[in-house]
Structure 1
Amino acid sequence: MVQQELFSLALGLVPPWLVDDVTFKVEDKRLDLHINFPQGSRFACPVCGEECPVHDTREHTWRHMDFFQHEAYLHARVPRVKCPEHGVHQIPVPWAREGSHFTLLFEALIMTLVREMPVLTVARLVGETDTLLWRVIDHYVPEARTRVDMANVHAVGVDETSSRRGHDYITLFVDLEARRLLFATPGKDAATLERFATDLEAHAGSAQAVTDVSMDLSPAFQKGAKEHLPNAQVTFDRFHLMKLVNEAVDAVRKGEVHTQPDLKKTRWLWLKNDRNLKAKQKEKLQALLKDQNLKTAQAYQFRLTFQDIFTVKNRHQGATLLKAWMENAKDSGLPPIVKVAYTILNHWDGVLRWFESQINNGILEGFNSLIQSAKAKARGYRTHKNFINMAYLILGKLDLRLPT
């Protein structure tokens, strides 16, 4: 078998396409495969499929997967056909998509690698610019999203994540049942909920069908949910509520540290659960708790009690325990704890809803950790579009339908 026939078979070419020339340059570590077609070949019109004669050709080059350690390139005279009905059109080639500098198999390699490592690292690995790789990502991710089915979305989690330094955020919407990213959009205002509702409808979903939404206490998110997810009952995420209590405990500690030097550098003793503390940390915490007059110790007890309340799964029992906690908090004389009590009172329905829905943004916290880790490894993403595409790629469970 001559080498041209061998490479034609390896590339999966079918008539009239064939490899008619192979050039291998050892010094350049490069393999060039020239693809052609016999004179008189006819090709289907891209519009109607009618077999038409070749009008003219244009030379194109594509980067292909490496041949062992050598870069490989495909070259071809791509014909334009002249259809009697639709005029002159360039035909698509079977080994690459229109407008790409790479073959389909090379793009599949890129998309496989960028899921596991930063784009810039992949670019250096394959010897291409990251700009070209981002163009590949920006083709496959939006294309895969057109096939996403949101018809069965009923419970949604919403939270913002930092895109870049400063007040620059991306809001993430997650299907809490399927545990996948549904939608990501810049900002963290009420308009993000409107854009989500529009995207939901565009993917066979229904804003009317969303019955539950988990979120933090953001007034903007509450307003957006009320306007654009009219049938959804809001559950205020217990992790964010716990964060409020933790911040209150630390505020009490900071206010007391000036008169109690032993509280210096003890922040995490009060905020971590006991099982997450090291032996020495547990010993120090127990020693501090023996001081009955320590305000931070009192705040810490409020934290433990609050956390235990959210292990209850009965709405009536949960409401009774929360009311008792709030009354004690108001009488505590600890302003940060008092403030939390009034915050819960002002968001009572959404806080109490948790005991029925049992939904939370735990999955979003995990997603946020994954995307921030990817961002850190990549040393940031230059644009919102890049950040969002990577979020979909990592968290969206997309069917990319890559060629094999």
Structure 2
Amino acid sequence: MDQGQHLFTLALGLVPPWAVDDVRFTVEEKRLDLHVNFPRGSHFPCPTCGQDCPVYDTQEEVWRQLDFFQHAAYLHARVSRRQCPEHGIHLVPVPWAREGSGFTLLFEALVMAMVREMPVRTVAQLIRETDQRLLRVIDHYVAQARAHVDMADVQAIGIDETSSRRGHDYITLFVDLNARRLLFATPGKDAQTFEKFSEGLQARGGSAKRITDVSMDLSLAFQKGAAEHLPNAEITFDRFHLMKLVNEAVDAVRKGEVLSQPDLKKSRWLWLKNPGKLNTKQKAKLQELLKNQNLKTAQAYQYRLTFQEIFTIQNRHQGATLLKAWMENAKASGLRPLVKVAYTVMNHWDGVLRWFESQITNGILEGFNSLLQAAKAKARGYRTHKNFINMAYLILGKLDLRLPT
């Protein structure tokens, strides 16, 4: 072995019987090829009994390695099969790559570090590989990491759907509200997603029976799924979704009044934003509009502010009293969109009232959804549910990928 071969053997961390026995550099292609070999007569241990066994046969394989400066590097090696007298013929695993991969472990570690920070397609262009090959690497490491996730302590979860592709194509997310991590994601937004979650939870040491609190929107499918598969969980209807219903009602009142009140044109966000988030010009315009005491939109706006204020209270009895008063006043207001919200709250009373005790919301899921949609937009989509879900786990799952260094 010459000095260059010895240097590359050390750089790759190879140990006997493996060693670099040939180094070829092609200037025109800017490519470095490192040939790894083992001495004739080498023995490898049987994976079952540990007995040293002779080589049965070999087949050359190639792996993409980390670039050598700006040059693409590849490892070549004769992968052998050993023959154990007792346990038969087995493939000898190489220490620098996993079986079936065309990349070295260090190259895959680089890929996994990069795809957490930028779109897969961009990474593929930077390292001169196809995005399909990188997606297979991601799938391997995500699946491997999720196999080691412990869900035994999960008790409070948040549930929401997020758009996977254009149209009515959704993924349902199940999030551990205490650990603030994505537990499970599955295509669809129906009751069956809860059955799949329950199975996934049990497979990782958790139990649907240990779930005590669930935060979710008013979806009938979600309510049905929770009732069937989370028998001991109390439902808290997410106050942010309730607030969304009130906001939609305020905007519906504004739209119905805009023809008779031209000043309401282009004023949507004045009524839907919290006062503290308005700039000076917006505040002045809002105050001017509020002077019109006959403005139905202004009345709806006051109901919005009151509803929001009620959910700052942490006492169940007081919260229930104020909510009942709000519902009665809303029903008597004659503002049909707000009347509808009042009846919606009444029909979901237990889950709405539960918030004053549990204090759990889907706020973390709203943040997660924003991160996923931003990643999807940068990537211009992930083509399949599987790819999108793998990226969701990678970004939000707090996975221990156990990558080589």
Q: What is the TM-score with the length of structure 1 in the denominator?
A: 0.99
Separation (CA, whole Å) in 1 of partners of 2:116 and 2:397? 12
Structure 1 moving runs of 4+ over 3 Å: none
Which residue in the other structure is 2:147 paired with?
146
**Could you say which residue in structure 2 is the equivalent of 1:3?**
4
- Maintained 8 Å contact 1:46/1:92: no
Q: In the alignment, which residue of structure 2 is the partner of 1:192?
A: 193
Please say if residues 236 and 350 of structure 1, whose CA atoms lie closer than 8 Å, have aligned partners that are also in contact: yes
One-letter code aligned to 1:23? R
SS at match of 2:253: helix
Q: What does residue 72 of structure 2 align with?
A: 71
Aligned to 1:259: 260
Q: Distance in 1 between matches of 2:347 and 2:51?
A: 69
Farther off after superposition, 159-168 or 271-280:
271-280
Map 1:219-238 onto structure 2 (within 5 A). 219-238=220-239
Offset of residue 47 of structure 1: 3.6
The residue aligned with 2:347 is: 346
- Report SS of the residue matched to 2:185: strand
1:33 aligned residue: 34
CA contact (8 A) 1:158 1:215 kept: yes
Corresponding residue of 1:395: 396
Is the counterpart of residue 131 in structure 1 residue 132 in structure 2?
A: yes
In structure 2, what residue type is equivalent to 1:363? I
Once residues 48 and 102 of structure 2 are traced to their aligned partners in structure 1, the CA distance between those partners, rounded to angstroms, is 24
- Structural mapping, 1:2-401, within 5 Å: 2-401=3-402
Bigger shift: residues 103-112 or 252-261: 252-261
Give the letter for the 1:93 counterpart. V
Which residue identity does 1:128 align to in structure 2?
Answer: E
Q: Distance in 2 between matches of 1:28 and 1:384?
A: 37
Question: Alignment partner of 2:172: what SS?
Answer: strand
Q: Please state how far the C-alpha of 1:279 moved relative to its aligned partner.
A: 1.2
C-alpha displacement of 1:275:
1.4
Q: Secondary structure at the match of 1:392?
A: helix
Kindly state the Cα deviation for residue 88 of structure 1 after the two structures are TM-superposed. Answer: 1.7
Alpha-carbon shift at residue 49 of structure 1 (Å) = 2.8
Secondary structure of the equivalent of 2:136?
Answer: helix
Deviations 1:320-360 (A, max 9, x none): 00000000000000000000000000000000000000000
Structure 1 residue 183, shift from structure 2 partner: 0.3
CA distance in 1, matches of 2:346, 2:45: 70
CA deviations over 1:105-157 (Å, ceiling 9, x no partner): 00000000000000000000000000000000000001100010111100000
Quote how far apart the aligned CAs of 1:6 are. Answer: 0.6
8 Å contact kept, 1:158–1:213? yes
2:51, 2:141 → 1: CA distance?
29
Deviation per residue, 1:338-386 (Å, 9 max, x gap): 0000000000000000000000000000000000000000001100000
Report deviation, 1:236.
Answer: 0.1
d(CA) in 1 for partners of 2:100 and 2:350? 54
Please, which moves more after superposition, 7-16 or 47-56?
A: 47-56
Deviation at 1:45, TM superposition (A): 2.2
Unaligned segments of structure 2, at least 5 residues: none
Q: Which amino acid aligns with 2:10?
A: L
Give 3-state SS (helix, strand or coil) of 2:57's partner: strand
Read off the aligned partner of 1:392 and give its amino acid letter. Answer: Y
Deviation digits for residues 185-239 of structure 1, max 9, x if unmatched? 0000000011111111111111111100000000110111111100000000000
Distance, in Å, in 2 between the alignment partners of 1:47 and 1:281 is: 74
User: Offset of 1:2 from its aligned partner?
Assistant: 0.4
Where 1:220 maps in the other structure, the secondary structure is helix
**Partner Cα distance (1:389, 1:70) in 2:** 30
Q: Secondary structure at the match of 1:19?
A: strand
Distance 1:72 1:48 in 2: 36
Residues 230-251 of structure 1: CA deviation (Å, up to 9, x unaligned): 0000000000000000000000
Identity of counterpart residues, as a percentage? Answer: 78
Rounded to whole Å, the distance in 1 between the matches of 2:100 and 2:317 is 62
CA RMSD, 1 decimal: 0.7
Looking at structure 1, the residues matched to 46 and 172 of structure 2 have their Cα atoms a distance apart, in angstroms, of 44
Between the aligned partners of 1:266 and 1:48, the Cα distance in structure 2 is 77
Q: 3-state SS of the aligned residue for 2:164? A: strand
How much does 1:48 deviate? 3.4
Structure 1 CA distance for aligned equivalents of residues 247 and 128 of structure 2: 48
Alpha carbons 1:108, 1:403 under 8 Å: kept = yes
CA-CA distance at 1:84 after TM superposition? 1.3
Distance in structure 1 (CA, Å) of the matches to 2:182 and 2:51: 42
Aligned length: 404
Distance 1:12 1:299 in 2: 70
